[in-house]
Amino acid sequence: MSQLPQSLINSLQGIEGFDETAFRQVHQSDEQVTSIRVNPNKTPVVNGRLGIGIHSLSSIHYSPVPWTDYGYYLSQRPSFTFDPLFHAGSYYVQEASSMFLEQALKQTVNLLQPLKVLDLCAAPGGKSTHIQSLINNESLLVSNEVIKTRANILIQNITKWGANNILVTNNDPQHFSRMEGFFDVLVVDAPCSGSGLFRRDEEAINEWSEDAVMLCYGRQKRILADALASLKEDGVLIYSTCSYSKQEDEDIMDWLVQEMGMENVQLKVETEWNIVVTQTIHAEGYRFYPYKLKGEGFFIACFRKKEASDSGKQRMVKPNSATAKEEDIIKPWLKQADLSFIHFREEIIALPSLLLQNFLLVNGTMNLLYAGMPLGQIMKDKLVPNHALALSIILSDEIKATELSYEQAIKYLQRADLALETKTAGWQPVSFHKHNLGWINALKNRINNYYPKDLRILKQTNNAASRN
Ligand code: SAM
């Protein structure tokens, strides 16, 4: 591992929980902590146990991450690329400390209420998929990423998650002033200098500098100042970084209270979690050190907005609803639910009807890339289904999948030719351990593999040394 920057070590002296010897040791050791968070829509957790064995993980011992209902540490790191259930969205590979977001949400908002949540810096989607698992079906998650290429990765992960109450936007934080007073919860998992990830990412060590910390500190303030307008009065802000630097953590916390009029909200942390409570005279936040718990470096703090917000600056576009005939074509593919069907970006999408109004507001105001559940296009009075629909939780149980063996599943995910017997002809999902992977079209004398080209596994073989 590269040398830890001495200026970082010097700057951390005296910070709550910092221990130079332990910090150096944990960065020198080869220990890797691997954790996943399961998708409760697909992989039920029953009495604290996974409802199914995760395929390639079946020989692996797993133990729960203490601050979440959905997280598990794995005793070794498998090649996730060669686990079909990884591609089915049955779980998300996520660093354990970040899963503490669950406590922040559970302890500050009533998750039984219909909520509007903005995840402002969302790619690749770790926090967004987690938030989706915690909010109810009447709640809306707007998952935003300013960098276009990263927004595409975010969409891929949201698609795998299978829910239909997420909108993905591609906007700069300052555009959210147009959504004044709209959100109940604002999550800002800010771009930061990244010292918390040094154990995983050597590059982060080489890129770290005191100037980078100051640059991030300035950017974090700008992002927050821009986005806070979109929060309602009494709305909750959850701020997090993967940096140990005081400027990006405690100083931002103080600035939010002193300059932005936010009220700090304290969380209850169990002593055995070994999370360090960090206090200034204005606020309290939570530090995660890898030598104190099983997870990477992380910081989180919660606030409530006390200022009144104006509302009503959003522009609403009229919905381009599907026709009755189109609805008749679509409905047999879907579970019974109160859904609205709208034309959006050359596709028909399905949205919970309760969220239609909010979709129209966001669509009229922001750069909306992905919304609800893309169902596909209607051609010659038939639905040509979108990949997302195969992975969706609203796909009808009547749309029977052809179950694949492990070898077939990998071939399918490589977008290779498949020799398969199917019970029926035409469009159908293929599944592995009953988790859908995507579509095939079974013709008279061949099977067409419709796994999206840009998602296919490029590696030919799973050698034990390969990492995801
Ligand atoms: N929340 C994500 C997750 O859990 O998977 C990780 C977010 S990462 C720490 C920070 C994100 O902020 C990156 O996706 C990055 O592209 C984005 N970002 C970079 N500069 C930004 C800016 N000026 N405003 C808003 N977001 C920015």
Alpha-carbon distance of 106 to 430, in angstroms, equals 36
Does residue 122's CB lie within 6 angstroms of at least one atom of ligand 1? yes
With cut-offs at 50, 70 and 90, classify the pLDDT of residue 465: very low
In degrees, to the nearest 5, what angle opens at C-alpha 250 toward C-alphas 20 and 132? Answer: 105
Does residue 191's CB lie within 6 angstroms of at least one atom of ligand 1? yes
CB atoms within 10 A of CB 294: 16
- Which strand ranges, in their side-by-side order, compose the sheet holding 426-432? 402-403, 426-432, 435-442, 447-449
Kind and range of the H or E run holding 129: helix 126-134
pLDDT of 438 strictly over 50: yes
Q: What is the pLDDT of residue 463?
A: 58
Does residue 121's CB lie within 6 angstroms of at least one atom of ligand 1? yes
Q: How confident is the model over 265-281, as pLDDT tens digits?
A: 999 999 999 999 999 99
Q: How confident is the model over 336-376, as pLDDT tens digits?
A: 889 999 999 999 999 999 999 999 999 999 999 999 999 99
Does residue 184's CB lie within 6 angstroms of at least one atom of ligand 1? no
Distance 459 CA to ligand 1 centre (A): 28
Alpha-carbon distance of 450 to 427, in angstroms, equals 10
**Which among 143, 145, 146 is the best mutation to test ligand 1's pocket, defined by most ligand atoms within 8 Å of the CB?**
146
Does residue 373's CB lie within 6 angstroms of at least one atom of ligand 1? no
pLDDT of 416 strictly over 90: yes
Distance 423 CA to ligand 1 centre (A): 45
Which two tokens mark 235?
Answer: 């709305």
Distance 125 CA to ligand 1 centre (A): 10
Does residue 127's CB lie within 6 angstroms of at least one atom of ligand 1? yes
Q: How confident is the model over 121-133, as pLDDT tens digits?
A: 999 999 999 999 9
pTM of the model: 0.96
Q: What is the pLDDT of residue 467?
A: 36
Q: What is the pLDDT of residue 319?
A: 87
Does residue 123's CB lie within 6 angstroms of at least one atom of ligand 1? yes
Alpha-carbon distance of 370 to 346, in angstroms, equals 12
Which two tokens mark 152?
Answer: 């595409």
Report DSSP letters for 383-428, one per residue: EEE-HHHHT-TTB-TTSPPEE--HHHHHHHHTT-------SS-EEE
